[in-house]
Amino acid sequence: MNALDLKVLHLLNGFVNHWPRFDDLVVFIADAHLVKGGVIALLLWWAWFSQVPRARDKVLCGLMGGFLALAIARVMAHLLPFRIRPVVDPTLDLHRAPGLYDALVEHWGSAFPSDHAALFVPLCVALWVISRPVGAFALAHTAVIILLPRVYLGLHRPSDLLGGAAVGILAFTAVWVWPTRDRVVRALLGWERRRPAFFYPLLFLFIFELTEVFLSFRFGLALLRRLLGLSAG
Residue 14, amino acid: G
What is the pLDDT confidence band of residue 226, given thresholds at 50, 70 and 90?
confident
Among residues 31, 63, 35, which one has the least CA distance to residue 205? 63
What's the confidence (pLDDT) of residue 57?
94
* Amino acid at the residue 76: M
Is residue 25 helix, strand or coil?
helix
DSSP track, 101-115? -HHHHHTT---SS-H
Q: Radius of gyration of the chain from Cα atoms?
A: 19
Q: Which residue has the higher pLDDT, 139 or 230?
A: 139
Q: How far is CA 129 from CA 64, 104, 135, 156, in A?
A: 15, 33, 7, 28
pLDDT at 1: 61
Residue 129 and residue 54 in contact, taking contact as beta carbons nearer than 8 Å: no
| Residue-wise pLDDT tens digits, 3-16 | 888 888 888 888 88
pLDDT above 60: residue 191: yes
pLDDT, tens only, 199-209: 999 999 999 98
Q: Which domains does the chain have, with CATH numbers?
A: 18-232 (1.20.144)
pTM of the model: 0.88
Burial class (CB in 10 A: 0-12, 13-18, 19+), 179: exposed
Q: How buried is 90 (Cβ within 10 angstroms: 0-12 exposed, 13-18 middle, 19+ buried)?
A: exposed
Cα separation, 189 vs 201, whole angstroms:
14
CA pair distance 44, 47, nearest whole angstrom: 5
